[in-house]
Structure 1
Amino acid sequence: MKTEVSISCHCTLNSFSIPIPTSSLPLPSRICHCDSCRRSTGSLFNISLPLPNATSSSFPLGTTLRASVDEEGKTTTRWFCVNCGAHMLRERVAADGSGGREWVVRVGVVQGWEKLVKIEAHIFVGNTTDGGGALLLPRLKGGGEDLPLYSEGVGSDRIILPPPSPLPSAFLSSTSPLLVQCLCKQVSLHLSRPSSSSTHLPHPSPSPSQLSSSDSSSNPWWLTILPAHPSSHFMAKACVCTSCTTNSGTPFFPWSYVPLHLLSLSHSSSSTPSSTFVAPFDPRTLDALQSFKNSNNPSDVERFFCKGCGASVFYTQERRAALVDLAVGLFRAEEGARAESWLEWEKAVGYVEDVEESKGEVLEGLVEGMRDVGTGNSTEEENRATRVRKQIGTLNGLFVLFRSIGFIGHFLDQKLLKQPLYRHPSDDFYISFADNSRVVVQPK
């Protein structure tokens, strides 16, 4: 018996199905954190579904799928959609040691993928320095024990991540720009540190929830001010909406919110940030980027991905033109893949409702992991709701306080008069509509 696996990129230009023996499901898979997976997608990790017996003739290679420029040479080839940039397929050396080739598909473009795979471990965690996305997904929902972490492939040295702790002040006080670079290095940018001046954008920048930036919060929703340090943090969130997953091929996508005036082109292809900038920066002027608009999305939404390796780079909206979503997987931060000297991670995962029906143990585990690692709320609606609850709580507290003062005053007054506490007759405030004499306006 065969199970048809439905595969489709975001724009549906590449939509096909592959039969897999039902008896082989769920297929074993690992969560990969290698530099190549992060920098070719823009995400923090990737998960692939093996395709037994698939060959190159099974896919529209070279027509609607483009081969990625890959630093790994001939050991692997990635394929992404020529229109929307979704990473879909990868051809690699077979994992069984036979020396043959095998095909895998990125789970972000597979319908109902959580029922088809069995996650066994995190691999290539050593590439991340700080544990990267492995800290966001330490275990599967209901899995009990943490997933094993390997420095490289399965069988390499095991890694034990320390609990989250504050970064050394050297990272937080550094004023050097951050290199933001894709796998093929055709997209190479520099990001400057945010500061108090970053709050004054040249255009209004409403939050993703379309709330006005003139909200009651003193700080912009996308920036965290740290008074103890000369730098501040950009807000970062994990998104699992179907748009982001099918556009990237990854099961979740990490975005940071960055003002365009803090970005500039890098003249260097090295991993060491230079101090040479070209400003101002506009994504549409960079030849290495290809844009994509989907008629199913709001008309002001535009995504940008690298033409060379297919890495997702930007998500832009006209209503907040001065602020862009920038892919965290491209950050080359010295402290590690999560770039915590630059980013403040949100507690909740964005747009979980998009995958509520198909959500399994992996995404449930991610929701729990983000709750443990993150520091804020996922959306401005939640930030505002928290502030409203605090305001209502303050008003309720004042109400109780003043009522208590009045009651104590009345008690002391009645005690001085040597009289019991006054009680209004019940018919003073209880109105029976059956008795018209107690109704202010007589019915006609």
Structure 2
Amino acid sequence: MENSTQEIVISCLCGKHQHTWALPASIKALSYGICHCNSCRKSSGGSLYQGSIEWPFSLIRVSGTDQIPDGPKTFLQQYEFGSSLHVWFCETCSTKLYWQYLKDAPKFELFPGLLPETLVESGQISLSCNLQIHIADTLDEGLSSCFFGLDGEIGLRYQGGRDSPSYIAQERHKAPPALPAIVEGECHCGQSTLKLSSRSGAKFPVELDTSKESQLLNSTHISAWALVSPEDIISVNNMPLHILEKLKSNTKDGVIGPLGVYTTDKTVIFFCNKCSASVLTQPLQSTKTSVLKVGASLLNSQAGARKEDILDWSEVQPVVLEHHNIRLDPRNF
């Protein structure tokens, strides 16, 4: 007899928080919505959007125990994103696990980058985007044209919230502004700041990352990083980069001022320990000429979400995530 439910495990990057949920066997498709507002982009740091899946399912256990806590937020760090919306994340590795809406009946939504890939790739569950909001905040449509529903069409795109008129793309006639002498940026809460300057005078190359590490780190399927030379970083939280590196070399994973630090087998990750936004990552095999990855959404720009006055998209290869109905080709910008 077929089970009426299947168990799925949601885990953060470091594995400290593992939540096992009972997903009804009748659920064969999950849809998610995407928000492109400035706040959502800043809260991620390493993504040009933020998405979420409504998650009304039953929690079975947490972190391998049989004890059912008082909701999935138990032991997670809380960030008050707004008066009616909280974010719950892992304080060790910064993975955002849930939004919690406080209006009406409180409900949780799961960040789609955490959904186990095996469920989607095996065809047990189909995943698609059916709603996009606050496109107008992007100025340039961001990455909104690359998310498709199960019918193969771009889902509803709204100028503001879902009660606003649908978005009508505006043709761009003006070239993006020239690269500013100083590029500044900050996370959603404003606690973590960046200041960059391109010594070569060239825009910073973009890397689109779909690795599982980046999906967990930014809770989205596509991460956007600005590739920056250490010499181009004037300061992080008003500290020169070499001071930050010295502090890291003298401490284990934990906290350096307002930054959290977490090390995987490949990367040192610096994130805001208040709002969890990704600030920058550094390869473990760090040399004087190493390229650092800075969260693209943190950087301030007059050109739009893709920040074409700051970022160089010319060498970015198309991204196709067939099982997720995502197709992104920067040549169409």
Q: CA deviation at 1:22?
A: 3.5
Selected match of 1:310 from 245, 259, 276: 276
Q: CA deviation at 1:69?
A: 4.5
How big is the shift at 1:255? Answer: 0.7
Match of 1:372 in 2: 332
Corresponding residue of 2:155: 147
Q: Which has the higher strand share?
A: 2
Q: Number of paired residues?
A: 303
Contact 1:234 1:344 in 2 (8 A): yes
Specify whether residues 142 and 29 from structure 1 end up closer, same or farther in structure 2 by C-alpha distance, changes over 3 A only: closer
1:30 aligns with 2:33: yes
- 1:252 equivalent to 2:222? Answer yes
Structure 2 counterpart of 1:291, which letter? V
**1:359-389 per-position Cα deviation (integer Å, ceiling 9, x unaligned):** 41433x23xx34534xxxxxxxxxxxxxxxx
Instruction: Report if the CA contact (8 A) 2:129-2:147 is conserved.
Output: no
Rounded to whole Å, the distance in 1 between the matches of 2:272 and 2:186 is 10
Tell me whether 1:44 sits opposite 2:48 in the alignment: yes
Indicate conservation of the 8 Å contact 1:34/1:127, yes or no. Answer: yes
Q: State yes or no: 1:338 paired with 2:319.
A: no
CA separation of 1:38 and 1:105: change in aligned 2, threshold 3 A: same
2 CA distance for matches of 1:124 and 1:283? 36
1:242 aligns with 2:202: no
Q: How does 1:26-175 map to 2 (within 5 A)?
A: 26-42=29-45, 43-53=47-57, 57-59=70-72, 61=74, 63=75, 65-70=76-81, 72-73=82-83, 75-93=84-102, 99-112=104-117, 114=120, 115-135=125-145, 137=146, 139=148, 143=152, 145-162=153-170, 167-168=175-176, 171-172=177-178, 174-175=180-181
Structure with the larger RCO, 1 or 2 (CA within 8 Å, 6+ apart):
2
Instruction: Give the aligned partner of residue 63 of structure 2.
Output: none
Q: Which residue type is aligned with residue 153 of structure 1?
A: G
Deviation for aligned residue 1:187: 0.4
For the Cα contact (< 8 Å) 1:142–1:361, is it kept in 2?
no
Q: Which amino acid aligns with 1:362?
A: N
1:263/1:281 contact within 8 Å kept:
no
Looking at structure 2, the residues matched to 280 and 310 of structure 1 have their Cα atoms a distance apart, in angstroms, of 20
1:222 corresponds to:
none
Cα deviation for residue 155 of structure 1 reads: 2.8
Compute the RMSD of aligned alpha carbons.
2.8
TM-score in terms of structure 2 length: 0.80
Measure, in 1, the Cα distance between the counterparts of 2:78 and 2:295: 21
| CA-CA distance at 1:248 after TM superposition | 2.0
Residues 108 and 302 of structure 1: CA distance in aligned 2, closer, same or farther (over 3 Å): same
Larger Rg: 1
CA–CA distance in 1 between the matches of 2:188 and 2:310? 21
Maintained 8 Å contact 1:7/1:17 = yes
Unaligned runs of 5+ in 2: 60-68, 248-255
Q: TM-score, normalised by structure 1?
A: 0.62
Query: Which residue of 2 is the match for residue 387 of structure 1?
Result: none
- What residue identity is the alignment partner of 1:292? Y
Q: Which has the higher helix share?
A: 1
